[in-house]
Amino acid sequence: MNEIQLKYGCNPNQKPSRIFMEDGSELPVTVLNGKPGYINFLDAFNGWQLVKELKEATGLPAATSFKHVSPAGAAVGLPLDDTLAKIYWVDDLGKLSPLASAYARARGADRMSSFGDFIALSDTCDVDTAKLIKREVSDGVIAPGYEPEALAILKEKKKGNYNVIQIDPSYQPAAIERKQVYGITFEQGRNELDINGELLSNIVTKNQEIPESALIDMKIALITLKYTQSNSVCYVKGGQAIGIGAGQQSRIHCTRLAGSKADNWYLRQSPQVLGLQFVDGLGRADRDNTIDVYMGDEYEDVLREGEWQKRFKVKPEVFTREAKRAWLDGNKDVICGSDAFFPFSDNIERCHKSGVKYIAQPGGSVRDDLVIEAADKYDMVMAFTGIRLFHH
């Protein structure tokens, strides 16, 4: 098959719509279930590239949770500790396979943004991963293969309409890529940059020590940024993105957005949040929304009389700004990657508030000296990659 007809494009009024191979060759994908749409395929193909590169760079199974052509989360398949299993709502599933652990991490880091995601998996989808996917609100999944039982589980989702796409892992796209805007064709060479250790060898700070685990996390940050709408900044810890700021016009706004998401990820692990006692029957999405409001400045909304009883068995204490700051001070050794240089030291100051220890960014700003000085002030390790990673 060299084309797939779609229901419509980005919006229902954009018809006709299809994906096809211009040279008439076979498409490298097969739709095993459902009817994926235009945006589904954009998320699927970008997500597949991301997890394919993560697997190649780390040797570990990888997963990503995509929304509107940017990742909400990305991770490799490291085991989950009890706390992470609880905040990702998978503590009832027992020990997960590495691939399922990767998706639990990718989905769980920013559950608000991941709601209704499109999933990409680096490896054949196994039963553990399919069971995890089945219980979440999601539009579809792309993977190089599916175990028969896993495929059967996924086909039951959305009353049989869940989108399941299989991609040929050996597919190699053409070296030149094209797209049209306003009837005008744009052409460029594909971004085939290999994210490897050499990119992280130019350390410009006084502190030059990067442990192997941090190098892996820096690669995860850069590969994630390679497929995130620019401008973008990514915070990573323990083999997973914990905060992604995508599509912002200002670099500092990217850094703040990603930092606030990383903070929320860590706040979910606090005793105050872990101790919340939800009423029976409150779904995962409603619990996520409640936690998000409880941790934010609108906490009074869920604690006012008549409201908290709908969500909690016991009225929780206020999570004060001081208590949140004290907890966040315990978050250490976080990675921050940026798809372009930091033009001002304010980005470093914001990184510091979220526990960043290691930074990977291209460098090249006229104020590099001030940015390095700020990193040295906090004993950070910063590598200049010399490579920009814009994605549009």
Tens-place pLDDT, residues 326-360: 999 999 999 999 999 999 999 999 999 999 999 99
**Amino acid identity at 275:** G
Q: Are residues 99 and 130 in the same domain?
A: yes
Largest CA distance in the chain: 64
Q: Is residue 391 a part of any domain in this protein? A: no
CATH number of the domain where residue 255 is located? 3.40.140.20
Write down the pLDDT at residue 196: 83
Q: Is residue 181 a part of any domain in this protein? A: no
Q: Is residue 313 a part of any domain in this protein? A: yes
Q: Is the pLDDT of residue 291 over 90?
A: yes
What are the helix (H) ranges across 202-250?
212-226
Long-range contacts of 319-325 (CB under 8 A, 24+ apart): 319/267, 319/270, 319/272, 319/273, 319/294, 319/295, 323/272, 324/267, 324/270, 324/295
Q: Is residue 323 a part of any domain in this protein? A: no
Q: Are residues 201 and 259 in the same domain?
A: yes
**Mean pLDDT score, 177-188:** 94
Tell me which of 98-107, 183-192, 296-305 is least confident: 296-305
Q: Is residue 185 a part of any domain in this protein? A: no
**Mean pLDDT score, 93-120:** 96
For the chain, percent of residues with pLDDT exceeding 90: 93
Q: Is the pLDDT of residue 198 over 90?
A: no
- Which pLDDT band holds residue 300 (cuts at 50, 70, 90)? confident
Write down the pLDDT at residue 302: 86
Q: Are residues 261 and 157 in the same domain?
A: no
Q: Just list the catalytic residues.
A: 67-68, 231, 392
If one counts the domains in the chain, the total is 3
pLDDT tens across 116-156, in order?
Answer: 999 999 999 999 999 999 999 999 999 999 999 999 999 99
Q: Are residues 306 and 360 in the same domain?
A: no
Q: Are residues 350 and 363 in the same domain?
A: yes
Write down the pLDDT at residue 206: 98
Write down the pLDDT at residue 128: 97
**Amino acid identity at 225:** L
Catalogue the E-assigned strands of 194-252. Answer: 232-237, 240-246
Q: Are residues 287 and 348 in the same domain?
A: no
Q: Are residues 228 and 360 in the same domain?
A: yes
Task: State both tokens at 92.
Answer: 């009832």
Q: Are residues 201 and 128 in the same domain?
A: no
Write down the pLDDT at residue 251: 95
Q: Are residues 255 and 352 in the same domain?
A: yes
Mean pLDDT estimate for the chain = 95
Q: Is residue 109 a part of any domain in this protein? A: yes
Q: Is residue 178 a part of any domain in this protein? A: no
Q: Are residues 313 and 333 in the same domain?
A: no
Q: Are residues 113 and 203 in the same domain?
A: no
Write down the pLDDT at residue 324: 96
What are the helix (H) ranges across 61-183?
82-87, 98-108, 111-114, 127-134, 148-155
Q: Is the pLDDT of residue 363 over 90?
A: yes
Write down the pLDDT at residue 298: 84
Ordered DSSP codes for 332-385: -SEEEEESS---STHHHHHHHHTTEEEEEE----TTHHHHHHHHHHTT-EEEE-
pTM recorded for the entire structure: 0.95
pLDDT tens across 235-285, in order?
Answer: 999 999 999 999 999 999 999 999 999 999 999 999 999 999 999 999 999
Q: Is the pLDDT of residue 34 over 90?
A: yes
Counting Cα atoms < 13 Å in the Cβ hemisphere of 50 gives: 38
CA angle in degrees (0–180, nearest 5) for 27-30-36: 100
Q: What is the rounded CA–CA span in Å between residue 305 and residue 316? A: 12
Write down the pLDDT at residue 197: 79
Asked, as a colleague might, if the bond just before 71 is cis with ω within 30 of 0, I would say no
Write down the pLDDT at residue 306: 83
What distance lies between CA 242 and its chain's CA centroid? 7
Q: Is residue 337 a part of any domain in this protein? A: yes
Range of the domain at 310: 271-318
